[in-house]
Structure 1
Amino acid sequence: MTTSSPRPPSMGGLARHPVIRVLSAAMLVNTLGNGLFMTTSALLFTRAVGMSPSQVGVALALGGVFGIVAGVPMGRLADRFGARPTVVALLGLEGVLILGYTQVHSFWAAVPLICAVTFLDRGASAVRNALVAHALPAELRMPGRAFLRMMTNAGVGVGAALASLALVVDTPSAYRTVVVLDAVTFVLAALLLLKVPGARPSREAAASRGGFGALTDVPYLVITVLAGVLVLQQGILEVGVPLWVTRETHAPRLLVSVCLVLNTAMVIALQVRLTRGVEDTARAARACLRAGTLMAVGCVLFGLAKGPDPWTASILVLGALALQTIGEVLCAAGTWALSYELADERAHGVYQGVFNSGFAAGVLLGPLVVTQTALRYGMTGWLIFGAVFLAAGAVLVPVTRWAAANRPAWEDAPQKQQAVA
């Protein structure tokens, strides 16, 4: 377990690092396609596939469930066969399956495809996190993840901007063209990742607790659940802000777009900077506590935005969004550190798979929680939601101490994995 680390590299140093450069290029290409697809997916499913809005919601929810269960089996494959070949195969297969969206024309045909694509997508995300652990030295994992998240937001932003062309044309053919472009980005990302150093899978990792040790590591599971609770914050930006601003405040509708742009810009500007110094478990837990506190205060400001004049409401919403975004950045940094530092170094695939499942569950449940608290009960609901964030951040501190003090016997085991070109 890391107790100290050298001074983290600068932004320029990260960009010049050969492994991070390849990883970030693959991430930028892939997330550009994700931005294209995410911006147009609702219209693709309704205009081109022929689904109703309610059917789209059901299909995406079912897909989210498959995404939750993907992490562990895909992580197990990564530990057995190597993270690099596994993530390359998953991205390539996902790119092929995504092309199926151009051929389906009904709810019943689309549902299994959506579930399969989401399963592969979340599985690839977990294995990609394990690849970072294998390809980078411990002192570069955190700054590397921060740099990759910065590139993710940049890629999604550019993709969303390019998707406006399809929105202007607004035809089924235009939305199917976006699908094809998205599929191409998966293939390109897979090819780029072939340049990342791999790691020979360890026999000890394959045998460790039957290969699924993370599922019996109780402290790690508890931290995964608490991190998933903090990830519920994703639902605020996705669902809470648009509905709260347009239905419950006097702020202009344009503020919804401003909030999305502000969130993206702040993540790009702050993720690397605020990740520095969050490498060990104690600091990571405190970062999560600060994140939960900022998210809680942000919830209060969102609640106060109901009632005042448009200018006051707008200032409150923007202030709340800024606090939520800083909390989001700190949460990402803290939970990354915990997911790596408390994992079995011989089995990062399964451990990152478990942690990714907690993340996927938080993303899936976030919209439901925000609609059933803040959007249903107003200020009272925002206070409840904020209290949940504050409690999760506070509990993470003693739980992390417990986890760090009770590491299993494998912590001091020699590492068997060796990098290969």
Structure 2
Amino acid sequence: MPSPNSPKSPESAASVSPAPPSPSGSPEPEATSMAAMARHPVLRMLFAALLVNTLGNGLFMTVSALLFTRVVGLSPSQVGFALALGGVFGIVSGVPMGRVADRFGARPTVVALLAAEGVLILGYTVVHSFWAAVPLICGVTFLDRGASSVRNALVGQALPAELRIPGRAFLRMATNGGVGVGAALASVALVLDTPGAYRTMVVLDAVTFVAAALLLRRVPAERPARDAASGGRGFGALTDVPYLVITVLSGVLVLQQGILEVGVPLWVTRETHAPRLLVSACLVLNTSMIIALQVRMSRGAEDPRVAARACLRAGTLMAVGCVLFGLSRGSDPWTASLLVLGAMALQTLGEVLCAAGTWALSYELADERAHGVYQGVFNGGFAAGALLGPLVVTQTALRHGMAGWLVFGAVFLVAAVLFVPATRWAAANRPAWEKAPA
């Protein structure tokens, strides 16, 4: 893909003519309508596999804390340490697993990773000590984040360029829907509150991994690129500095996940006069808005310039949302509730735009011959942001109140502003390897 400042080649001109709509609500092209994507054979199979797999994730996520403490026998601090260490393994898994995908193909790699994770996760039903649980958690997280990276590479390999971003948005609906259904089903285990009930959730989660692997076997396999398979430029993403900068900026915006996971529950219950029920309302609002808006607001983001502007808007909305969260402290219950809901709505709009923009940049600025490694690098940045998000929100907003929210918002705003020049730099740098001989 040429630089935004350079003349387009005939092929690229054809690919963007007519000009792509802004990801904010222009008429929906037939090829990327919801009905068309639901009929697309590859997207339909990816959607089914992801829906099944994330249903299992919802089962496990809902009971994991109680499973680790009441069944495995860990203390809360041990659980925190083990999950943090597992998160580090998740950050580093994307590149080696992406390299395997580039060499042998994304489909067989993700199928193998999901099947292996399904077997390994059964270990949670038999371990009963900290020293046995830690390597198991690290191994499961390594496979899980690696599978996520390779699945993203599979999207890049199995779908035409014009369907990658709307396809990812379509698949995100499966993620949110699956987790929600799984969480609702896991409430049965919470009511029973027995070791057997929690172990049953683990077994069901393992079954969903195997089922997802079997479904993905039906996705058409793509032959690995010749130079990727031969190992010539297998780890080029690690030396692609502009792409690494985009990855870091994307990871900064992903810190926003810590607000929903940790910031909102603790801020609402400890620092505001809003009712506790507002925590659940924020989760419902976030999920509902993502399902309703992700596909619509992702249209047109295939153009890196549009994607960079989407990231700019995303970080700005997140920053304003941080200010509203800070203002809710000390307000009466109704005002605090409205401010928190308004802040959550802005944060979610930013999350939707961030997803669309960063997905596009992760594909459009990558070497088409090495989607596995490039998606591995990008997914590592995502995993790092998700891991650090709770720490950042506790050390800024929850520790220093309004001043902390302002600092957190400033971090979002600075990253957002840097997206446009960083994308221009990355796009200008791309022809250096695009024209390299195979």
Q: Would you say same fold, with TM above 0.5?
A: yes
State whether structure 2 residue 331 is matched by structure 1 residue 308.
Answer: yes
CA distance, structure 2, for counterparts of residue 400 and residue 282 of structure 1: 7
SS at match of 1:277: coil
Aligned: 1:298 with 2:316: no
Q: State the match for 1:57 in structure 2.
A: 80
Which position in structure 1 is the counterpart of 2:264?
241
2-side partners of 1:341 and 1:365: how far apart? 26
- What is the Cα deviation at residue 5 of structure 1? 6.1
Q: Which amino acid is 2:282 matched to?
A: C
CA contact (8 A) 1:33 1:156 kept: yes
Structure 1 runs of 4+ aligned residues shifted over 6 Å read none
Match status 1:405 vs 2:428: yes
Q: Which amino acid aligns with 2:202?
A: V
Matching residue of 2:114? 91
Q: Which residue of 195, 200, 204 maps to 2:218?
A: 195
> 1: distance between equivalents of 2:188 and 2:158?
38
Measured in 1, the distance between the counterparts of 2:389 and 2:232 equals: 32
Count the aligned residue pairs: 415
Q: What's 1:183 paired with?
A: 206
The corresponding residue for 2:129 is 106
Root-mean-square deviation (CA), in Å? Answer: 1.3
Identify the residue that residue 44 of structure 1 maps to in structure 2. Answer: 67
Task: State the match for 1:419 in structure 2.
Answer: none
Where does 1:123-162 land on structure 2 (aligned, <5 Å)? 123-162=146-185
Distance 1:118 1:285 in 2: 30
| Paired amino acid for 1:19 | V
The corresponding residue for 1:264 is 287
**Is 1:322 the equivalent of 2:345?**
yes
Secondary structure, counterpart of 1:211 in structure 2 = coil
What is the rounded CA distance, in whole Å, between the counterparts of 2:63 and 2:170 in structure 1? 27
Match of 2:4 in 1: none
3-state SS of paired residue (1:252): coil
In the alignment, what sits opposite 1:24? 47
Matches for 1:346-361 after TM superposition, within 5 Å: 346-361=369-384
Asked if the contact 1:75–1:351 (Cα under 8 Å) also holds between the matched residues in 2, the reply is yes
CA, structure 1 residues 5+185, in 2 after alignment: closer, same or farther (shift >3 Å)?
A: farther
Asked if residue 332 in structure 1 is aligned to residue 355 in structure 2, the reply is yes
Specify which of 82, 87, 90 is matched with residue 67 of structure 1.
90
Query: What SS does structure 2 have at the residue aligned with 1:198?
Result: coil
Return the TM-score normalized by structure 1. Answer: 0.97
Aligned AA for 1:37?
Answer: F
Percentage of pairs with the same residue: 82
Equivalent in 282, 285, 294 of residue 305 of structure 2: 282
TM-score normalised by length of structure 2: 0.93
* Partner AA of 1:285 in structure 2: A
How far the C-alpha of 1:206 sits from its partner, in A, is 3.4
> Aligned pair in 2 of structure 1 residues 192, 111: CA closer, same or farther (>3 Å)?
same
**Any unmatched runs of 5+ in structure 1?**
416-421
CA contact under 8 A between 1:299 and 1:382: conserved in structure 2?
yes
CA distance in 2, matches of 1:213, 1:199: 20
Moved more, 207-216 or 100-109: 207-216
Residues 312 and 187 of structure 1: CA distance in aligned 2, closer, same or farther (over 3 Å): same
The superposition leaves residues 76-114 of structure 1 with CA deviations (integer Å, 9 ceiling, x where unpaired) of 000001000000000000000000000001111100000
Matching residue of 1:223: 246
| Inter-CA distance 87–5: structure 2 relative to 1 (3 Å threshold) | farther
1:380 matched to 2:403? The reply is yes
User: 3-state DSSP class of the match of 2:282?
Assistant: helix
AA matched with 1:143: P
Could you tell me which residue of structure 1 aligns to residue 25 of structure 2? none
CA distance in 2, matches of 1:413, 1:197: 28
Structure 2 counterpart of 1:310, one-letter code? P
CA distance, structure 1, for counterparts of residue 316 and residue 262 of structure 2: 21
SS at match of 2:32: coil
**1:78 matched residue in structure 2:** 101
1:105 aligned counterpart, secondary structure: coil
CA positional deviation for 1:261:
1.1
Shift of 1:203: 2.5
1:120 paired residue among 136, 143, 147: 143
Amino acid paired to 1:13: A
Q: Deviations over 1:303-359 (max 9, x none)?
A: 001001111100000000000001000000000000000000000000000000000
